[in-house]
Amino acid sequence: MPALTIFSAATPEPSYDRPRPDRLLQGNPLRTTHEHFLAATGQVSAGIWQCEPGAWKIAFAPGKDEFFCVIEGRLRITDENGQASEFSAGEACVIPGGFTGVFEVIETVRKYYVLVETQL
């Protein structure tokens, strides 16, 4: 029988990365990902993501959607038309596949995330 994935019951090994240099706009923030769940199909993953202040361009592939909910800190997402939205603790958002814009971490942020990837 499959077991529940309880985030507070485990601390998976983190993975670290930084924005690609060709997308970097401000700073060089370290991004830390604790992946708590990966579906057997590989199409759904969930965990906790943390990032230092900085900004970079984002371009989500078609069929790749992300739900997130901010635990702490503050971030801003600006779409390609210049429409900016800010998120802080307790606020949630879905970034849809095909979205392009700028992701800016204003104050070190931690967020829950769920990535869903479908084949188009």
Return all residues near 21 (Cβ < 8 A) that are at least 6 apart: none
The tokens for 31 are: 């991004």
All domains of the chain in start order, with CATH: 22-117 (2.60.120.10)
- Per DSSP, the three-state class of 8 is helix
Q: Is pLDDT at 119 greater than 80 in this prediction?
A: no
**Concatenated DSSP letters of 46-60:** EEEEEE-SEEEEEEP
| CA 1 to the chain's CA centroid | 30
The answer to whether the predicted template modeling score (pTM) of the entire model surpasses 0.85 is: yes
Which tokens go with 43?
Answer: 């199409």
- The per-residue pLDDT for range 32-67, each reduced to its tens digit, is 999 999 998 889 999 999 999 999 999 999 999 999
Hey, what are 59's tokens?
């371009």
